[in-house]
Amino acid sequence: MQSNQAATRIKMLTEMGIGPVWLPRYADAIQEAIEVSVTADPSIDHIETATQSVIAEAIVAPVGNMQVPEAVLSDETASAWFDQSPVSDVLPVSSRVVALRSVSDMSWDELEASVASCRACGLCEGRQKTVFGVGARTANWLFVGEGPGYNENIQGEPFVGAAGQLLDNMLLSLGVRRGERTYIANVVKCRPSNQEGKDRPPSADEIASCLPYLERQIALIQPQVIVALGKTAAIALTGFDPETPVTQLRNKVHRVAGIPMVATYHPAYLLRKPLEKSKAWQDLCLAQRTFDGTSV
């Protein structure tokens, strides 16, 4: 019975042209296969059958050009898929093959609404406000931090307080201001905190859950340069091994979806280690040269 309800919901979302959910990147091919099958025969029973069939096949064989990792999309996924609400429940990472509309297709407004109601990872439980991002949607510069902290969670805006003040000064050194030709976002949109209620870095699973939102923001903004603020952001954007030393992330221009990306220190770190500000200055100079087209 639950599976029929889920299938009905999917059909309704499809007909309304919305599907407020997220997909990991490898799920695009699965979604496409489901859509092709459902388009051919859009009855509810068929949606359920087609989806279960595609997911089951994906576990053992490539879908499109992608081989779905068995560890990610396990046997339990197919049954769990219809036993949980695809919209309102917190699903494990392996169960996020849900929507008939991918984050990668969303408009700005759809994306913002999707983040505001997102329950794709456990960080939704402790949040007061999601922190979508702030700035010009046609920004030249995109600054990416790790995730909201205590104050950001309350205010719903990234980089407020002392770290935000320092970031604003970093922007001024590049000749820009918050909201003018700049966009500021985080890797995760909800505050990670530990059991004592203190800020903590997001886990790998939390980053994987939230990254499609940032990737869509990058695709919509199409900035000229991305500045990763801190190791977590740089690792998330580049996909490098989390153990990659900072020295391999800084002092070079990386590419993120074809866009140049420069890594520097997180402003909160610079507040704790002010002597590192000279290195951050070097990073910003590299970012400026990259922006000007003179970095090589």
Binding site for ligand SF4 (CB under 6 A): 115, 118-121, 123-124, 130, 188-190, 206, 209-210
Name which of 120 and 234 has its Cβ closer to ligand SF4.
120
Indicate the residue among 104 and 224 with the shorter CB distance to ligand SF4: 104
- The minimum distance between CB 126 and ligand SF4, in angstroms, equals 10
Q: Report the residue number, 166 or 184, with the smaller CB distance to ligand SF4.
A: 184
Task: Supply the minimum distance, in Å, between the C-beta of residue 218 and ligand SF4.
Answer: 15
Other CB atoms closer than 10 Å to residue 76's CB: what's the count? Answer: 12
Q: How far is the CB of 60 from ligand SF4 (least distance, A)?
A: 28
Q: Residue 88 has what DSSP assignment? A: T
Q: Of 95 and 290, which CB lies nearer to ligand SF4 in the complex structure? A: 95
- Choice between 59 and 93, CB closer to ligand SF4: 93
Q: CB of 98: closest distance to ligand SF4 in angstroms?
A: 13
The residue assigned the tokens 């010009």 is 136
Strands (E), the chain: 134-135, 141-145, 182-186, 225-229, 254-256, 259-264
Give CA–CA dist 15/155, Å, rounded.
35
CB of 206 to ligand SF4, least distance (A): 6
The SS3 of residue 42 is coil
Cα–Cα distance for residue pair 186/144, rounded to 1 Å:
5
Tokens representing 225 are: 């340069």
